[in-house]
């Protein structure tokens, strides 16, 4: 099965989401009778230093370097231009840029097939709510949910990367020995990255240890390990990309709730706007902040903390009890949810 033949058989059902800010559109459809989610994202512009050199070692991990502006860069690549209007010193119009599948592709395309209800709901537009997740809510609602989510089927892609050599040719860094699994991790391009433009660099570091499902499992015993991990990430990545991205230009963070409950760290170029926020839900915590917080959170670390973040109505946790908790919390705080239920302060 290759991507082109799968997309050729994609039967459109409806638009899940369309975001003019991120230039992303997600479609629900089916392929051979099974649900499919097709996402397209317009790629960023190529200019000057953000050009890819085909890898020389035969690896497909792209390497970046400073180069003269070429025929595909914005400016030289303008093949058609139509002015719409001008007013005083302001001019605006539309243009067509030269495209090339390797040098300057139009869009990055992602396909999930067969897609589960989790995938579909995750991409679907939804109403959002701010919720305070207390330690009690974590124990009673989130823990059973995590157990449900940790099926081998859902974690397959992670295990494929860690143990089965999946995406091997793209791995940027790997440190692993079966004797010292605790410290092992692998860094590779995230599925979200087009792999072309370093301005939108997006990598993911996946750890080998499997005793940490999420932020909640982190306690002060993990602090030194995280400090080492953070240091390695910020040393290795700039080196790997010839210092076209510097250590202090990397946003290193984790998500809560994550989509996958096996500890991993996101590594993103700070130029990439809104990354981590684009989902509209969940929270993003910088690894540096996690390390700092573990210095004073107490022996149980994040297990004792109340975490406030945004949750979408499509998230299973919403139906599994978060909805009621939000209502209770607002009531407890004495905050009216509609004009009829109260006006002003008492």
Catalytically annotated residues: 264
Please answer whether residues 256 and 307 qualify as being in contact, where contact means their C-beta atoms are separated by less than 8 angstroms.
yes
| Residue of 157, 176, 225, 309 that binds ligand M7G (CB under 6 A) | 157
**Interacting span for ligand M7G (CB under 6 A) from 100-108, 189-197, 285-293, 304-312:** 189-197
β-pair type (107-112, 90-97):
unpaired
Is residue 3 involved in binding ligand M7G (CB under 6 A)?
no
Is residue 216 involved in binding ligand M7G (CB under 6 A)?
no
Please answer whether residues 26 and 37 qualify as being in contact, where contact means their C-beta atoms are separated by less than 8 angstroms.
yes
CB of 201 to ligand M7G, least distance (A): 13
Q: Which is nearer to ligand M7G, 104 or 281 (CB)?
A: 281
| Residue of 192, 222, 251, 315 that binds ligand M7G (CB under 6 A) | 192
**Interacting span for ligand M7G (CB under 6 A) from 2-10, 65-73, 100-108, 188-196:** 188-196
What is the separation, in whole angstroms, between the first and last Cα of the chain? 64
Q: Which is nearer to ligand M7G, 97 or 236 (CB)?
A: 236
CB of 94 to ligand M7G, least distance (A): 32
Distance CA 20, CA 34 (A): 28
Question: How far is the CA of 208 from the CAs of 22, 158, 161, 163, in angstroms?
Answer: 32, 10, 10, 9
Distance CA 320, CA 263 (A): 23
Q: In whole angstroms, what separates CA 37 from the centre of its chain?
A: 16
| Residue of 279, 304, 305, 323 that binds ligand M7G (CB under 6 A) | 279
Please answer whether residues 50 and 43 qualify as being in contact, where contact means their C-beta atoms are separated by less than 8 angstroms.
no
Q: What is the DSSP letter of 11?
A: E
CB of 227 to ligand M7G, least distance (A): 21
Strand partners of residue 167? none
Is residue 47 involved in binding ligand M7G (CB under 6 A)?
no
CB of 75 to ligand M7G, least distance (A): 31
Distance CA 66, CA 51 (A): 7
Helix (H) or strand (E) holding 216: none
Show contacts with ligand M7G in window 193-212 (CB under 6 A): 204
Please answer whether residues 189 and 168 qualify as being in contact, where contact means their C-beta atoms are separated by less than 8 angstroms.
no
**Contact letters for ligand M7G, residues 104-143 (x by CB under 6 A):** ----------------------------------------
Please answer whether residues 271 and 249 qualify as being in contact, where contact means their C-beta atoms are separated by less than 8 angstroms.
yes
CB of 216 to ligand M7G, least distance (A): 14
Q: Is 84 helix (H, G, I), strand (E, B) or coil?
A: strand
Show contacts with ligand M7G in window 241-270 (CB under 6 A): 255, 258-260
Q: Which is nearer to ligand M7G, 27 or 186 (CB)?
A: 186
Q: Which is nearer to ligand M7G, 188 or 237 (CB)?
A: 188
Where on the chain is the footprint of ligand M7G (CB under 6 A)? Answer: 157, 167, 188-192, 204, 255, 258-260, 279
């Amino acid at each position: 099965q290759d991507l082109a033949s799968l997309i050729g058989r994609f039967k459109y059902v409806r638009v899940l989401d369309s975001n003019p800010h991120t230039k992303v559109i997600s479609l629900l459809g089916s392929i051979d009778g099974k649900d499919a989610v097709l996402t397209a994202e317009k790629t960023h512009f190529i200019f000057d230093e953000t050009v890819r050199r085909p890898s020389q070692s035969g690896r497909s991990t792209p390497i970046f370097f400073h180069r003269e502006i070429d025929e595909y860069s914005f400016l030289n690549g303008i093949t058609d231009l139509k002015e719409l209007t001008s007013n005083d010193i302001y001019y605006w119009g539309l243009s067509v840029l030269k495209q090339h599948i390797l040098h300057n592709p139009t869009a990055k395309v992602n396909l999930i097939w067969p897609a589960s209800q989790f995938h579909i709901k995750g991409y679907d537009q939804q109403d959002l709510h701010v919720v305070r997740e207390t330690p009690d809510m974590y124990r009673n609602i989130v823990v059973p949910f995590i157990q449900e989510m940790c099926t081998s089927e859902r974690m397959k892609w992670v295990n494929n990367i860690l143990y089965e050599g999946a995406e091997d040719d793209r791995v940027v860094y790997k440190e692993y020995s079966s004797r010292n699994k605790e410290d092992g991790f692998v860094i590779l391009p995230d599925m979200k990255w087009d792999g072309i433009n370093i301005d939108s660099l997006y990598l993911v570091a996946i750890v080998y240890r499997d005793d940490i499902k999420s932020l909640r499992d982190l306690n002060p015993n993990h602090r030194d390990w995280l400090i080492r991990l953070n240091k390695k990430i910020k040393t290795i990545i700039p080196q790997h990309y010839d210092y076209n991205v510097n250590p202090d230009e990397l946003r290193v963070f984790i998500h809560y709730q994550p989509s996958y409950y096996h500890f991993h760290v996101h590594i993103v170029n700070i130029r990439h706007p809104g990354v981590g926020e684009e989902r509209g839900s969940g929270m993003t915590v910088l690894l540096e902040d996690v390390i700092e917080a573990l210095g004073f959170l107490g022996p149980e670390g994040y297990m004792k903390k109340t975490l406030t973040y945004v949750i979408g109505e499509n998230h299973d946790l919403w139906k599994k009890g978060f909805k009621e908790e939000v209502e209770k919390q607002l009531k407890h705080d004495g905050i009216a949810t509609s004009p009829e239920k109260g006006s002003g302060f008492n």
